[in-house]
Structure 1
Amino acid sequence: MTTYQDLKDFFKRQDLKVIIAADAETRIAKRGNNIVGQIIPAGGVAVAFDPIAKASNAIYIGRGRNEDDRKFLDLRGRIPIDNTGDRYYLKRVFFNREEQDGYYCGFSNQTLWPLCHVSFERPDFRDDWYEDFKKINQKFAKAIKEEIKGKTFIWVNDYQLSLVPKYLGRQKGAIIGMFWHIPWPTWEIFRILPQKKEILESLLSCDFIAFHRGYQVRNFLETVGREFEARIDQETSKVYYNKQVTTVKNLPMGIDADIIESILENKQKTFITKIVHEVIRSDKNTDIANPFDTLFKEQKVILGVDRLDYTKGLRLRLLALDKFFEKNKTYIGKITYLGILAPSRIEIPAYRNLKEEIRNLGIAINRKYKKNNWEPIKIVYQVFPRDKIMDLYKNSSLCLVTPLDDGMNLVSKEFVIAASYSANPGMLVLSQFAGSSIDLTQALIVNPYNVEEVAKAIKKGLEMEKKEKIKRIKTMKEILEERNIYEWAKEFVGSAVSVI
């Protein structure tokens, strides 16, 4: 199993300057008692890339969110992150509100996001959004160029920065790797994008591109082959285009079990656990009792933890729960679905409409099955500290992860690690369309569009023998420990460097 020290030693042997660019930051400014501090956000990017950046002594370039983010920056717009011994620099780039709206709420998340996810949400195409998208990608590229020195590995992350490789151009001594975290659609879908050729040509400026799953690689290669007169070597997954060779590979993103273990055990064992405790200490409410303690004492709990997004299959999940209670009336009054939904992209109409739809459907199901003070559906729109979420994972009887399309899905993996700490673990019901299903084959794999199938899986998971649940969870945990975040980072960078 690859450790943080292994990853650190790997970067030392490579003798590379590392620049990581992503829309999300690894630190955000948080104001309390008139004091502004830097905390790690609760999102997956922060937990994943903070230790990677430290292990590589990287320059991490992210989008500044507010004026407080400007505080503490040096003349180059950077702030050192070195509270655990190893250091990297967080460099923030800032944009005006109009540019951010067009780039993020517009082209990134009303054009590319729905285009790339099979969720049947129609993408919108607006030239002004794309102009803002180009401007911000140009500014990211400029910020990266300012940091290139000698042999440099540039790690560009995700669809929001898909034009950055184009604007970087060929930099002497630089290697460009792109990790595309969301699904890549079929050519038949991608071809409707008016800016498809510019996006593709930018990506083919990279030396190395990685996706989570093999079918996404195949979709990408087919798209390139349909759109360009490019030579594609299917055996090596190399694309020869415009005097550039680009290698494409699938590398499922891992997690580090120590993240969850340190929270559940409340002790520091490895480097990354220090990061986790930093997150916990940053939230002033972490010493408050879990608000769901009473619920867990009185009921069995089916858990869902999601960002509010139409790709997560939330409506179909509620319909499956409705079908479950309809066919299994003995569970009425004895089990509750607890849906934790993190508010997301509320500026976008589709997300506001989804929230209203979920609210109305939840009310309807509760009216149908309500018994005394019990209701089957409890939905909470809130972001909770990681220690509270891990506690929910550990104590739930079942976890529903049923996206319609998902590049990876870290919730499913985190649940498995947390559940392994329970004497009687819950079971995971997982969509076949989640990228994590390629690793978590011992979960109850379902088609989220098949409401009957999901309802049956809920019943099977709740009634599964304790011995079988322990065996399945143990098998999945071992796989996750082997394919952890450090191994993922090492393979990504190593694969990119080896193609040069």
Structure 2
Amino acid sequence: EMTAAGRKIVLEVDEVERLKGLPLALLGWEQMLRTAKRDVRATFVQVGVKARNFTPATQQDYEAVRAEITEILQRIESAHHGAVIFVELPTISVTQRLQLWRRADVTVFTPVREGMNTYPLEAVFARREISPGAIVLSEFACCSRVLNGALRINPWNTEAVAAAFSDALKMGDAERQARRARDMEFVLNNTAAAWAERFV
């Protein structure tokens, strides 16, 4: 269960592997907390999942990324108690993801390279009947070119990631509505097959 009483929820759900950029998101969050002029009433919840095609060959990469995440988590928690939560799951279902997307005020995706990934589209769709959330999206994400309402970032640029976190948390409802409308049009008017053809 994702709880952060009285605080906004910033959420990232992805696989614990190098190309997904989970440590880069944490570095951006740490930078935002460090430079914020006032107390940040938000918690970054990062859900790390074992790679879908996990094999013994990927174990070393997984352990290296997990160690990097742990180091950054400890640093953030030491300086900003309650500002970050890391949850590790062996798998995550579509139903679980949709529930998480609905809870988040801001959803984050920071891959440095990837194949087809529908998670950002799920995040848009999940909130279609409730107040919109903001999306921070890597320019390297496969759906970056079609989600025009997202705040696009280069995940390697820590200052840019920090600024996007700050902008997303401060974004007013009117801007969130306008950005969601741009993205929702694409999500609702394109079947999974039609969307996949754009990236094959």
Same fold (TM over 0.5): yes
Who is 1:341 aligned against? 48
Correspondent of 1:433 among 132, 136, 140: 140
Alignment deviations for residues 37-89 of structure 1 (CA, whole Å, 9 cap, x no partner): xxxxxxxxxxxxxxxxxxxxxxxxxxxxxxxxxxxxxxxxxxxxxxxxxxxxx
Does the Cα contact within 8 Å between 2:10 and 2:45 map onto a contact in 1?
A: yes
Determine helix, strand or coil for the equivalent of 1:301. Answer: strand
| Match in the other structure for 1:318 | 26
Rate the CA distance shift 1:473–1:359 in 2: closer, same or farther, 3 A.
Answer: same
The answer to whether the aligner puts 1:404 opposite 2:93 as a matched pair is: no
Q: CA deviation at 1:376?
A: 1.2
Q: C-alpha distance in 2, partners of 1:338/1:328? A: 19
**Matched residue SS, 1:304:** strand
The C-alpha deviation readout for 1:249-308, integer Å capped at 9, x for no partner, is xxxxxxxxxxxxxxxxxxxxxxxxxxxxxxxxxxxxxxxxxx22xx15432110000011
Q: TM-score, normalised by structure 2?
A: 0.89
The structure, 1 or 2, with the larger RCO (C-alpha pairs under 8 Å, 6+ apart) is 2
Report if aligned partners of 1:346, 1:352 keep a CA contact under 8 Å in 2.
no
In 2: Cα distance, 1:487 partner to 1:320 partner = 34
Max Rg structure:
1
Match in the other structure for 2:65? 354
Shift of 1:483: 2.2
Shift in Å, 1:451: 0.6
Whole-angstrom distance in 2 between the partners of 1:335 and 1:380: 17
**Deviations along 1:110-139, whole A, 9 cap, x unmatched?**
xxxxxxxxxxxxxxxxxxxxxxxxxxxxxx
For 1:464 and 1:444, the matched residues in 2 are separated by: 11
Alignment check: 8 A CA contact 2:43 2:85 kept: yes
Segments of 5+ residues of structure 2 without an aligned counterpart are none
Out of 288, 297, 301, which is 2:9 matched to? Answer: 301
Q: C-alpha distance in 2, partners of 1:388/1:468?
A: 27
Choose the corresponding residue for 1:467, options 174, 177, 180.
174
Kindly report structure 1 stretches of 4+ aligned residues shifted beyond 3 Å.
none
- The aligned residue for residue 123 of structure 2 is 415
* 2: CA distance, partners of 1:475 / 1:461: 16
| Count of equivalent residues | 193
Distance in structure 2 (CA, Å) of the matches to 1:408 and 1:377? 28
Unaligned runs of 5+ in 1: 1-290, 493-500
- Distance between the aligned counterparts of 2:161 and 2:141, measured in 1? 15
Aligned mate of 2:191, from 479, 484, 500: 484
Corresponding residue for residue 367 of structure 1: 78
CA distance in 2 between partners of 1:386 and 1:449 (Å): 29
Counterparts in 2 of 1:7-26, with a 5 A limit?
none
Q: Which amino acid aligns with 1:369?
A: H
From the superposition, tell whether residues 473 and 488 of structure 1 become closer, same or farther in structure 2 (CA, over 3 Å).
Answer: closer
Deviation at 1:454, TM superposition (A): 0.9
**1:77-226 matched pairs, under 5 angstroms:** none
In 2, the alpha carbon distance for the partners of 1:384 and 1:313 equals 18
Q: CA RMSD in A?
A: 1.8
> Partners in 1 of 2:72 and 2:174 — Cα distance?
36
Partner of 1:263: none
Q: Distance in 2 between matches of 1:378 and 1:442?
A: 26
TM-score (norm 1): 0.37
Corresponding letter in the other structure for 2:69: I
- CA drift of 1:320 comes to 0.3
Q: Which residue pairs with 1:200 in the alignment?
A: none
Q: Which amino acid aligns with 1:421?
A: E
